[in-house]
Structure 1
Amino acid sequence: MSYSPDLSSGFNGTRLRTPNHASCSGMCSDCVQECPALCEIGLSAIRGTEAAYPANPNGSQFASEKKYPIDFSDFNINGRVFGARGLPEDADIAHPLSVDLSCSFGIAHPVAQKMPLILPAVAKLNWQDYYAGAAIAGVTAVIGEAVVNKDSGAEFSNGRLTYSPLIKDMISRFRVYDRGYGDIVLQANYDDVSFGVLEYAIEKLGVKSVELKLGQAAKGIQAVSKTMSYEEATAIKAKGRMVYPDPASPEIQKMLSSGFKPVFRAMGRLPMYREESL
């Protein structure tokens, strides 16, 4: 049995022409010359490595399209009809509203929670209600890595973050509804550490919980986003981020003067941590 994915995805805006697919390759079973669609093969042939990155990263959240051989419907929750666990065997006490799901995580400085849940990282879309809801529910929520890259009001001095109204607003959104349970956690990737995002958040905003990312999105790829203009690429590079190709290089300057507009990509650095540095 094959679980190979089809060569189309909402992730990169591709689609297949026909519902009949070859299971071993994910291609249409009849690939035609006059195809009006754009599958991942066509996209990669035209745009190269762009096929490996999302089409709309700033306006979307992505979930896995992988077809797993099991499903949540394969699991059953078997209730008990005799006795009780965790509560006295008393019908007036052992009822749903008496259930206690509280827990904690952490060793040196445990964080108490009302439920055993940690909401995954978000740094875009409706984060306001996301963080507020976590605080109201008494669970932990995570601010995604590289959030400072989305902050148009961020200020830097000598390559270090000195002010970020977006991070401040995100933390405040949780703190307004904080009931003493859960926490707001700030992720930091390699660039964030280099920019001093953690120091700023801890010293200026009182952040107590952080998460070091040992790889962008927990995997060994670099975060890559397309920039729409030379001016934008230059501004991003001035903040200390990597831009490819280098907008200041003589070759690019020559291309620009001749009317050619190259495609710039801002890239996150891969971590080069060592055990002793951690």
Structure 2
Amino acid sequence: MTFAEPNRSPATFTKTRVQPAPQSGLCVTCLDGCPGPCEVGRSAMRGREVLYPQPYSKVTAGSEKDYPVDFSHFNIQGTCVGAIGAPADSDHATFPAVNVSTEVGATDKIRMKVPYFTGALGSTDIARIHWEAMAVAAAISGTLVVVGENVCGMDPAAEIKNGRVARSPEMERRVKTFQRWYDGEGGIVVQYNVEDGRLGVPEYVVDQLGVQIIEPKWGQGAKNIGGEVKLPTLERALQLKSRGYIVLPDPEDPVVQEAFKQGDFKEFERHSRLGMVEEEAFHKHVEHLRKIGAKHVSLKTGAYRPADLARAVK
């Protein structure tokens, strides 16, 4: 049996004509002359465009893989003996009196009013548009809000001097929005990937914006590839390549420029690099973050093999 639905997804506006074969996802009767509403047919015409959830930059997509076990299979088993989070007293162990606060950190703890925090909101339009609501909510809830990767590098108004970020209005807006509502519990975390590190983002946010929590990344959350976005203009593609990003196709190639101008393709792709982990180098990175003034250092790692999880925990 398959847990996924290969070759068709509402996320890519694709479907099959009839019931598909479980392994390939192709229609059981793949018809000659079919207009190709499936991912195979559409990607044959549109290429990599079909990789992106649609409409691009307006959605956050989740996996459709239907695992045989999920949270609905678990029940919380309570007890009438004793209490956790409140005194074991009927007049005290009431619903509004329960304490759900917690703290994170190995030694210098960060106190949080609630036992959860946000995912990383990086340079995507979805994250940028909804940042204020997320940051204010996190601040007044007393939890952590996370600024994801590439915010400075993707900021059109960022000032880059000698290959390092001198100012990023977008990063400044994000940090100050949280700080304006911060009341002492929780905090704002800034992640950084390979490109962010080369641009000096950790140094900038700690020194110029007062950020205390820095989070280096070992890849993405659920995949060991770098992040990618679409770029609608040649000028934007050239700007991001000049800032150190991988941009496909090469916007500096005159042939590519001419092809774009005459409409042969509509968008460029910006790709981030995947960090390569080496234990001694990682320790040096952490030491550097401490020296520049980061009070807390956390680690973002992807869903890798157990050996990598053990390496991260170590």
TM-score (norm: length of structure 1):
0.87
Q: Where does residue 153 of structure 1 map in the other structure?
A: 157
How far, CA to CA, are the matches of 1:138 and 1:63 in structure 2?
27
- Residues 233/211 of structure 1: CA separation in 2 closer, same or farther (3 Å cut): same
Letter in 2 for 1:23: P
Deviations 1:243-273 (CA, angstroms, capped at 9, x unpaired): 22323235546x5599574563222123244
**5+ unaligned residues in a row in structure 1: which ranges?**
none
Residue 56 (structure 1) shift: 4.4
Instruction: Please point out which of 222, 246, 265 is paired with 2:250.
Output: 246
Of 50-59 and 210-219, the range deviating more from structure 2: 50-59
Describe the SS at the equivalent of 1:141.
strand
Letter in 2 for 1:6: P
Describe the SS at the equivalent of 1:192.
helix
- Percent identity between the aligned chains? 37
Q: Where does residue 26 of structure 2 map in the other structure?
A: 27
Name the structure where helix makes up a greater proportion of residues: 2
Give the alignment of 1:1-278 within 5 angstroms: 1-18=1-18, 20-123=19-122, 124=127, 125-217=129-221, 219-249=223-253, 251-252=255-256, 255=258, 261=264, 264-278=268-282
Is the contact between residue 101 and residue 113 of structure 2 (CA under 8 Å) also seen in structure 1? Answer: yes
Residue 144 (structure 1) shift: 1.4
Residue 162 (structure 1) shift: 0.9
Is the contact between residue 17 and residue 36 of structure 1 (CA under 8 Å) also seen in structure 2? Answer: no
Residue 145 (structure 1) shift: 1.1
- Residues 220/151 of structure 1: CA separation in 2 closer, same or farther (3 Å cut): same
Residue 99 (structure 1) shift: 0.8
Is the contact between residue 3 and residue 68 of structure 1 (CA under 8 Å) also seen in structure 2? Answer: yes
How far, CA to CA, are the matches of 1:269 and 1:30 in structure 2?
41
Of 75-84 and 111-120, the range deviating more from structure 2: 75-84
Is the contact between residue 14 and residue 40 of structure 1 (CA under 8 Å) also seen in structure 2? Answer: yes
How far, CA to CA, are the matches of 2:85 and 2:221 in structure 1?
38
Letter in 2 for 1:225: V
**5+ unaligned residues in a row in structure 2: which ranges?**
283-314
Is the contact between residue 36 and residue 42 of structure 2 (CA under 8 Å) also seen in structure 1? Answer: no
Describe the SS at the equivalent of 1:42.
helix
Letter in 1 for 2:142: G
TM-score (norm: length of structure 2):
0.78
Letter in 1 for 2:15: R
Is the contact between residue 140 and residue 183 of structure 1 (CA under 8 Å) also seen in structure 2? Answer: yes
How far, CA to CA, are the matches of 1:72 and 1:109 in structure 2?
33
Describe the SS at the equivalent of 1:276.
helix
Letter in 1 for 2:149: E
Is the contact between residue 121 and residue 143 of structure 1 (CA under 8 Å) also seen in structure 2? Answer: yes
Residue 202 (structure 1) shift: 0.7
> How large is the Cα RMSD of the aligned pairs?
2.6
Q: Where does residue 306 of structure 2 map in the other structure?
A: none
Describe the SS at the equivalent of 1:213.
strand
